Amino acid sequence: MVEQVAQLTEWVGEGGVVVLSGAGLSTDSGIPDYRGPSGSARRSTPMTFQAFTRDPVARRRYWARSHLGWRTIGEARPNDGHRAVAELQRRGVIGGIVTQNVDGLHQAAGAAEVVELHGNLARITCLDCGDLTPREQLAARLDAANPRFTAAAVAINADGDAELDDTDLDGFTVVDCEGCGGMLKPDVVYFGETVPPARVARSFELVCGARTLLVLGSSLTVMSGRRFVLRAVKEGIRVAIVNRGVTRGEPYAGLTVDAPLGIVLPNIVDALATVSPVNAGV
C-alpha cells in the first residue's frame, strides 16, 4: 500500500486532477455509506419520484423518515478527507469536484467548483412554483406540526432516509409550500428521476479536461458514477481509485488504494506541502 500511495501522491502532485467522490468519503463524518464497511442493509425501498408524487401515504412516511435522518446529516461536519480535498484544490492540483453525495460537506470544508450530481439535502424545492428554501426552515415547520413525534431512527442511510418502525410513522403531518401550497421535496435526485442534463454535461467537461480522474469513496456500482470512469478511459485519462473494499472501477483503474481516505488524503497533503501550487489544468 505504501508504494500505491507514493504513486498516487506523484500523480496528484502533477496537477490536473478531477475528483469523483462517493459516500465512502463521508463515513468519517458519521454518515454511513451504501455498500462499504460502514453501510447497513436498508430494509425500506429507496423512495422513487413516482411514489413520492403520486402516493400521499408514501410521501408522509418518507418525510417522517427524512425528518429524523436530517438530524444526522444536518449536524455532520467535514472530516479530514474533505479538508484534504479542499486544501489540494486550494493548492491548485485539484480542479473540479463531481460528487455523488448530497451532504454538502465538500463545500463546508472550503471546496469550490463542486458539481452536486444528485443534489443537496440542505435545500428544499417546491415542485409547483420552484421556490428553493433552506432545510432548516422546513425542519422547524415539521417540528411545529408534529410536537408529539418522538420516534427514534433504527439506522440512517447515506441519502438521509432513516429506518423506522412502521408504528412510528403513523400520524406524521406533512407541510406544504408556504408560498403557493405546492408539494415540497428535498432538492435531490430520487430513483426514477433523471440527473439534470446540465450537471451531467459539466461533469463530463471536467473529466475530459483532466489529467487524472481521482475516485474517492465510491464503489462505482451504479452507472451514475461509473460512466465518468468509462469516459476517462475512453479519452485516455488515467484513473486512480481510493476506496475501502472492491469497486467496479478496478478493471479500468491504473492505480487503486484500499485504505481509509481520512489517512491517505491528509498524507498526500503533507507530502506535497513543500511543492509550489500549480495550475490545476481543468
Q: Is 67 a catalytic residue?
A: no
Helix, strand or coil, per DSSP, at residue 170: coil
Exposure string for 58-84, b = 16+ CB within 10 A, e = fewer: bbbbbbbbbbbbbebbeebebbbbbbb
Helix axes 80-90, 261-271, angle to 10 degrees: 30
Q: Is 208 annotated as a binding residue?
A: no
Which listed residue (67, 82, 106, 118) is catalytic? 118
Q: Is 177 annotated as a binding residue?
A: yes
Rounded to whole angstroms, the Cα distance separating 158 from 73 reads 8
Q: Which run of H or E residues covers position 162?
A: strand 162-163
Contact (Cβ atoms closer than 8 angstroms) between residue 159 and residue 46 = yes
Annotated binding site for Zn(2+): 126, 129, 177, 180
Annotated binding site: 126, 129, 177, 180
Positions annotated as catalytic residues are 118
